[in-house]
Structure 1
Amino acid sequence: MPKTVTPESGLAPSDLPELPERPGVSYIMPVLNEAEHIAQAVGTILDQDYDGSKEIVLALGPSTDGTTEIVEALAAGDPRVRVVHNPDGDTPTGLNLAVRATRSPVVVRVDAHSELTPDYTSLAIDVLRETGAANAGGLMAARGETAFQKAVARAYMSPMGLGGPAYHSGDEAQESESAYLGVFRREVFDVLGGFDETLRRGQDWELNLRIREAGGRVWFDPRLRVTYWPRSTWKQLAQQFHATGRWRAEIVRRHGSRNSVRYFAPPVLVLGITAALVEAVLQLSGTTARWPKFLRRFTSLVYVPSAAYVALIGAEVVRAKDCGIRERIWFKLVLPTMHLCWGAGFLRGLVSGAGDSVDRSRSAKLQESTPLNASD
């Protein structure tokens, strides 16, 4: 469970011990219903171009698609692969179980649907050593196979899409609010006690918040690239962003002003569009005709933000010249889907909290076939 921290908790660069030349590395991965991807994911991780000792700890959830048998076979065939059981199947719980099963000076969070570049580990360790960071991460390089997936990947990498964090759009190496996945010093878990198991989404951001509050440094380096494969259907994308919005609202309820103002843009957009729709209904019904002229002019201003948003979407689509017409059409639909679903989920979460909300957009029933090298 998370521990109370102060700036003197021992994660400042000057407090961290020097890393060995080739420290041992433990990769931690929560796994649930990943039969299609898990074997290649493990192979890719163990094939990292790094000559220090490596192990991977898989936190195995209650899978129903044959993942359990595959994971057990992988562990039986390679002593570097270990398994801990995660009966609840929750990501933060699985991550903590995996961390507790490791002892290496460096802990690398990995995902069955992401691909590390071959030099990711060695480069990340150099970054940790050079910057004194407690956690380092890099660019979440979204890619797609289908026109829809490519459109989602484009939205992820666009400032108009997710915006804000350097790990989405790329930037110069710098201190960061959070990090994608993350390469951690062991001391992070010794001092902070791990991920918050009450957060089903956003647990990475919350842990990085505590790292910074404990005096630690979170570092972004664009040379650290992780290929990310987005959801493959519109329904999955909508479910993903609605759940993410609810959990971000839960984090806002807990941590208030320590959240960036950018998280409030999607819910404000939802409120603005809702107000515009209400105004349109009142006008069409003739209700506003009975209002004073100055009031009708004032309430008509509610259309301005929505019209500006539509114009921004149009401009972003026009700039997307290096893609086919199907991808461009999907891109036009994907951007508002991400924003509105996230914003609606945020508003719901802000009122009632995240509760037991679960993102089921990766469930076995919803997953569609994607190439074995296309994990996200």
Structure 2
Amino acid sequence: MILPPLPELPAVSYVMPVLNEEGYLETAVRTILDQDYAGEKEIVLALGPSRDRTDEIAAALAAADARVRLVENPQTHIPAGLNLAIAASRHPVVVRVDAHSELTPDYTRRGIEALGREGAANVGGVMRAAGRGAVQRAIARGYNSPFGLGGGAYHGDGSAAPAESAYLGIFRREALDAVGGYDPAILRGEDWELNLRIRRAGGLVWFEPALGVTYWPRASLGDLARQFFATGTWRAVLVRRYGRANPWRFFAPGALVLGLAASLVGLVLLVCGVLPWGSAWSLLLAPAALYLLGIAYATIRIPDQRGLRDHLLTAATLVTMHLSWGSGFLRGITLGGGRVVDRSRV
């Protein structure tokens, strides 16, 4: 992938899919408008069929600032909305943003510097989850910890380097055009899938830890479970499609769920006397015992907790993340994605 040099201050299009975001949308847009970048900017919001005041807020933002433009996303799904927003945008740099995210003021300026310096097709930074209530703060701790979400470099403060994927992303439009944009058939994990195609086309995906984004995760364990079940399901779809291109960590939660299921069956058989205690069959309990020890260790090690309630919520968050993702993965690997969608914001 050969990309022409960027001008000194390329114009930027921010694209954002939006659905039921009345509590977050205005702040997210304000952090874009307040960027310290001197180049021309526009924001394109792809509006899904929200059931709250999101559309009213979006219309007010567009009326107050001509740089904010609106397009309809009747399909609801994120990849479709992103493609519609990209198609409606005009500028050579495309910045994906999320209604639950807040950019640091220097995000655009530093990202475009990295695009030009590295000759990258896409640049991403660090996702720093935050929370307002006790449960959302616990979920944010899970996001920020390798014991919770783990995986990509953008979940921690690593070194600047080529990356497998990027959180959100600051793209060269030529790179998006070259690979055909987001795949609307991939309803979760669309960022990883797009970045895989960019890398296979010869484009560089770059991790730039100087870029910071505050992310507000789901605020309840039920919504977290729904989100992670859908994410696990569609990660399995990516495994079915791309095979060895997927990192090993995608398989770990599914293996965990199978191990815990074996422990549960073993416990029932031991208690019912079908299997003798003290025999080799007792090893069936090992996966559950090891997992409980791991959760206890992780809960002690994760910082920013105060008191027993925080520790219990942290443990509940980790278990919800792992088991929901793993169950979804097993569903997806056996049955495909089907009609599984993230209904936590619907």
User: What TM-score, normalized by structure 1, do the two folds share?
Assistant: 0.89
1:321 to partner: Cα distance: 5.3
Q: What stretches of structure 1 move > 4 A for 4+ residues in a row?
A: none
Query: What letter is aligned with 1:280?
Result: L
The answer for unaligned runs of 5 or more in structure 1 is 1-9, 364-376
Letter in 1 for 2:194: L
Question: Aligned to 1:288, what secondary structure does the other structure show?
Answer: coil
Contact 2:49–2:76 (CA<8 Å) still a contact in 1? Answer: yes
User: Aligned residue for 1:299?
Assistant: 281
Report if aligned partners of 2:13, 2:44 keep a CA contact under 8 Å in 1: yes
Cα distance in 1 for residues equivalent to 2:112 and 2:275:
64
What residue number does 1:223 align with? Answer: 210
SS in 1 for 2:187: coil
C-alpha separation in 2, matches of 1:329 and 1:286? 33
Q: Which aligned pairs between 1:1-376 and structure 2 lie closer than 5 A? A: 10=1, 15-289=2-276, 297-320=279-302, 322-325=304-307, 326-363=309-346
Q: Residues of 2 paired with 1:209 and 1:122: CA distance?
A: 25
The unaligned stretches of length 5 or more in structure 2 are none
Cα distance, 1:173 vs structure 2: 0.9
Q: Matches of 2:166 and 2:324 in 1, distance apart?
A: 23
* Paired AA for residue 227 in structure 1: T
SS at match of 1:83: strand
CA deviation digits over 1:317-376, x for unaligned, max 9? 22235421221110011111100110011101111111111111112xxxxxxxxxxxxx
The Cα offsets for residues 76-97 of structure 1, whole Å up to 9 and x where unpaired, read as: 2221111111111111111001
What is the SS of the residue equivalent to 1:204? helix
Aligned-pair CA distance for 1:143? 1.1
Cα pair 2:275 2:281 within 8 Å, conserved: no
Change in CA separation of 1:67 and 1:171 when aligned onto 2, cut-off 3 Å = same
Q: Which has the higher contact order (CA 8 A, sep 6+)?
A: 1
Deviation digits for residues 49-86 of structure 1, max 9, x if unmatched?
A: 11100000111111221222222232222211111111
The separation in 2 between residues aligned to 1:58 and 1:328, in whole angstroms, is: 38
Over the matched positions of the two proteins, sequence identity in percent amounts to 57
Root-mean-square deviation over aligned CA pairs: 1.4
Amino acid paired to 1:58:
L
- One-letter amino acid of the structure 2 residue matched with residue 282 of structure 1: L
* Aligned residues of 2:19 and 2:345 also touching (Cα < 8 A): no
Post-superposition offset of 1:210 = 0.1
> For the residues of structure 2 that align with 1:37 and 1:232, how far apart are their CA atoms?
12
TM-score normalised by structure 2 residue count: 0.96
2:115 and 2:177 map into 1 onto residues whose CA distance is: 17
Paired with 2:330 and 2:245, the residues of 1 have a C-alpha distance of: 18
Residues 129-148 of structure 1 show CA distances to partners (whole Å, capped at 9, x for unaligned) of 11111001011101112221
- Find the aligned partners of 1:218 and 1:149 in 2 and give their Cα distance: 30
Partners of 2:302 and 2:114 lie apart in 1 by 34
Amino acid in structure 2 at the alignment position of 1:253: R
- Measure, in 2, the Cα distance between the counterparts of 1:98 and 1:247: 23
Q: Report how many aligned residue pairs link the two structures.
A: 345
Q: 1 CA distance for matches of 2:284 and 2:155?
A: 31
Distance 1:99 1:322, change over 3 A: closer
